[in-house]
Amino acid sequence: MINKFTQIFQPTNTIIVPTKIVKEYQNKIPKELMDIWMKFGFGKFGKGIIELVNPKDYEGILWQWIGEKHKHIVPIAISSLGHLFYYVKWRENESKDYNDEIRFIDPTSNQFIVVCWSGKEFFTEFYENEYDLEDTLFNDFFNYGLEKKGELKIGEIYPFKEFKEYEIYEYENIGDICSAIEYHKKLLMNFEGEELELLS
């Protein structure tokens, strides 16, 4: 099946995936994602609306959000707003009607949201639907950030400046470009119950 992910989100700024990473994750991620790694590498796609990441860079952060390590869960991408996407491969002894899924962590609310019930579907047909594009990658906010803040480099996002229940998703709440990893580290440090403190 044609990999429509890279047709919809053309490579913008990418780097080669190290051979040792390919060997370590070749049986832990969807074949469709591995094909993208081998052809294009890690980095920004679709002008930066989504970045395919080195799992090693985000495993520690993902496990902190989840609360424990999971061998069958792999961080795979980050959105321009800092949503961390990860792949879940269900083990054979688990009672599921499906074998895998893609989820993301919304760091502004500490919510874990199922994006797609199939890793293969995520990379072959999921983003053909405009609703899915806006609902998971916040296309309008990305375009605002790109116009007002400039182009993202690898590892960068447009962060939210503060977290108020009804004012998070407002254009004026988009802050200056920052490191995605540092953004998540600050949120993990500041997270208290169901609310997040204002970031400096």
Distances (CA, A) of 72 to 49, 55, 80, 101, 158: 26, 12, 25, 11, 29
Q: Say if residues 152 and 64 touch (Cβ distance below 8 Å).
A: no
pLDDT value of position 4:
86
In the chain, % of residues over pLDDT 90: 60
Rounded Cα gap, residues 140 and 164, in angstroms: 20
What is the crossing angle of helices 139-149 and 130-137, to 10°? 60
What is the crossing angle of helices 55-66 and 180-190, to 10°? 10
User: Residue 43: phi, psi to the nearest 5?
Assistant: 135, -165
pLDDT tens for 137-167 read: 999 999 999 999 999 999 999 998 876 555 5
Per-domain residue ranges for the chain? 5-196
Rounded Cα gap, residues 152 and 149, in angstroms: 9
pLDDT value of position 198:
34
pLDDT tens for 35-59 read: 999 999 999 999 999 999 999 999 9
Distances (CA, A) of 154 to 64, 133, 188, 196: 22, 21, 21, 26
Name the nearest CA neighbour of 13 among 53, 39, 45, 58: 45
pLDDT value of position 173:
85
What pTM does this model have? Answer: 0.89
Q: Say if residues 194 and 167 touch (Cβ distance below 8 Å).
A: no
